[in-house]
Amino acid sequence: MPIDIAACRSTEEILPALAPVFHYFGATPVPQDGERFVPFIEPSRAFAAHENGAVVGGCASFPFEMTVPGGTVRVAGLSVVGVLPTHRRRGILRRMMRAQLDDVHHRREPVAALWASEDTIYGQFGYGQASVCGDIDLPKSATAFARPAPSRGEFRMLSEAEAMTPLSEVYERVRLTQPGMVARSAVWWRNRRLADPENRRRGGGELNRVLLSHDGRPSGYALYRIHQQFESGVSTGHVNVIEAVGATPEATRDIWRFVLDIDWVTRVKAMLLPVDHPLFFLLARPREMKFRVHDGLWVRLVDLPAALAARRLGNADPVVIDVADAFCEWNAGRWKVSSDGAERTTDAADLECDITALGSVYLGGFAFRQLARAGRVTEMHAGAVARADALFPSEGAPWCPEVF
Ligand SMILES: CC(C)(COP(=O)(O)OP(=O)(O)OC[C@H]1O[C@@H](n2cnc3c(N)ncnc32)[C@H](O)[C@@H]1OP(=O)(O)O)[C@@H](O)C(=O)NCCC(=O)NCCS
């Protein structure tokens, strides 16, 4: 039976297109699940694979504005990719990736990004590992700060409705300086960060939204759940910090002190933290975090010159990079990259790499020298790797505090 891949034509078609990936979460999507996707995805950004009228695969992309070093860029945030186990390994993913990347190119969104369920899947479609992040599991007995300081801040628990304005204001201050963060609309805040439906608690309690203010101005916040449990009358529960953000170093210190001090639990857990998180220096015993590192965002340059024009490039002599890109051939060839951007050239190449390498360095999470050490970049002329690193300065570890 032939498989047909097509963009959705109406919002009603989006929920069925989510069914293949929901299968792997052990669920069938219900309208409540749709609230996390449908308002943000115009139908033509969602693709479904049909066989005989039945959906067997699907994927979609969010239109994001993502912070990059020195600016922001329009990004297609790929999500909800799935192919039913009845139809796996017949090339449906490959065909969906073709349709989706052509669509992103057509929309003139220079970059695509995603979180990968498995790190083996997306390299072949030109995505490079662009950030690493980590999970922590800190015993309460090891939460002391190296340099304790009294907090001047005020803390207040907020309802879902109260949280929207001050939390979004703090987030906005931070995200404009933090590569990897994406702009959030009010509906995104409500449906994806602040809403607290039962089926999203995963064994935890209610969602808590705490606001920190300094001198009367919102300066930080935390979203967290308490996972309470007892053994022989003694708590063995933990706090799960979903998102803790401070707009200043003082606010970052105070909001973490707050979540680390919550009583009647034995551990504090958090996920998706950037590898340069201040906790490494705030805590007296950072080793106790047991910071476990894994891949974070994956980035694909869809339109190479437009993507490079959107981020800051350093003041350094140009490099000519010969880029291989089998899946999006319009990017392939030799590019002269300078502080002004990228332009096509016939000059001899200084570096050779494939498009995944440029995705890896794009947000500043990796350097050309790291890729060269792993054989992902070949230096044709001595000094070219160092020059390329000077052209792609990092502003610290990229951080995207949410999986989309
Ligand atoms: C991952 C998934 C979408 C792949 O779909 P699929 O239709 O079976 O993939 P395709 O047949 O198009 O495979 C395309 C290529 O990717 C490779 N590939 C597919 N899934 C892979 C995986 N999990 N690991 C490594 N390679 C994989 C295939 O071998 C194939 O390579 P080839 O063309 O060189 O032979 C599907 O297995 C799935 O839905 N998995 C569970 C949900 C999930 O992980 N979704 C991704 C969310 S980020």
What local confidence, expressed as pLDDT, does residue 398 receive? Answer: 98
Residue 80 CA to residue 16 CA, distance in Å, equals 11
Mark out the alpha helices in 214-278 (DSSP H runs). 249-260
* Atom nearest to 80 CA in ligand 1: 47
How many Cβ atoms from other residues are within 10 Å of residue 205's Cβ?
Answer: 15
Residue closest via CA to ligand 1's atom 26 equals 121
Protein residues whose CB sits closer than 6 Å to any atom of ligand 1? 21, 24, 81-83, 88-94, 116-118, 120-121, 124
Residue 319 φ/ψ, nearest 5 degrees = -125, 145
Query: Which regions of 40-180 does DSSP assign to beta strands (E)?
Result: 46-51, 54-68, 71-83, 111-115, 128-129, 132-139, 154-157
| DSSP secondary structure letter of residue 182 | B
What local confidence, expressed as pLDDT, does residue 309 receive? Answer: 98
Q: Which residue has the tokens 């993507």?
A: 307
Tokens of 78: 């790929």
Task: For Cα atoms 366, 295, 207, give the angle at the middle one, nearest 5 degrees.
Answer: 125
* Core vs surface per residue 63-84: b (16+ CB within 10 A) or e: bbebbbbeebbbbbbbbbbbbb
- Please give the radius of gyration of the chain, using alpha carbons only, rounded to the nearest integer: 22
Residue closest via CA to ligand 1's atom 18 equals 121
Mutate to test the pocket of ligand 1, among 80, 94, 294 (most ligand atoms within 8 A of CB): 94
Residue 404: name the closest of 108, 184, 198 by CA. 184
Task: State how far Cα 152 lies from the chain centre.
Answer: 32
Q: Which residue has the tokens 């291989």?
A: 324
* Core vs surface per residue 153-163: b (16+ CB within 10 A) or e: beeeebeeeeb
Residue closest via CA to ligand 1's atom 15 equals 94
Rounded to two decimals, the pTM is 0.97
Q: Which residues of the chain have pLDDT under 50?
A: none
* Atom nearest to 84 CA in ligand 1: 39
Q: Are 77 and 402 in contact (CB under 8 A)?
A: no
> Catalytic positions, please?
122, 404
Residue 404 CA to residue 185 CA, distance in Å, equals 14
How many whole angstroms from 298 Cα to the centroid of ligand 1? 16
Task: Dump pLDDT digits (tens) for 279-300.
Answer: 999 999 999 999 999 999 999 9
Mutate to test the pocket of ligand 1, among 89, 101, 127, 403 (most ligand atoms within 8 A of CB): 89
What local confidence, expressed as pLDDT, does residue 199 receive? Answer: 85
Q: Are 238 and 203 in contact (CB under 8 A)?
A: no
* Atom nearest to 97 CA in ligand 1: 12
Residue 304 CA to residue 5 CA, distance in Å, equals 26
Task: Dump pLDDT digits (tens) for 222-280.
Answer: 999 999 999 999 999 999 999 999 999 999 999 999 999 999 999 999 999 999 999 99
Between strands 208-214 and 3-7, the pairing is unpaired
Q: How many helices (H) and strands (E) does the chain have?
A: 11, 21
Task: For Cα atoms 153, 158, 163, give the angle at the middle one, nearest 5 degrees.
Answer: 95
Residue closest via CA to ligand 1's atom 32 equals 91
Collect contacts of 259-266 with beta carbons under 8 A, ≥24 apart: 259/222, 259/224, 260/138, 260/140, 260/143, 261/143, 262/224, 262/226, 264/228, 264/235, 264/237, 265/140, 265/226, 265/228, 265/235, 265/237, 265/238, 265/239, 266/139, 266/140, 266/235, 266/236, 266/237, 266/238
Between strands 319-324 and 351-354, the pairing is parallel
Q: Are 279 and 144 in contact (CB under 8 A)?
A: no
Residue closest via CA to ligand 1's atom 5 equals 93
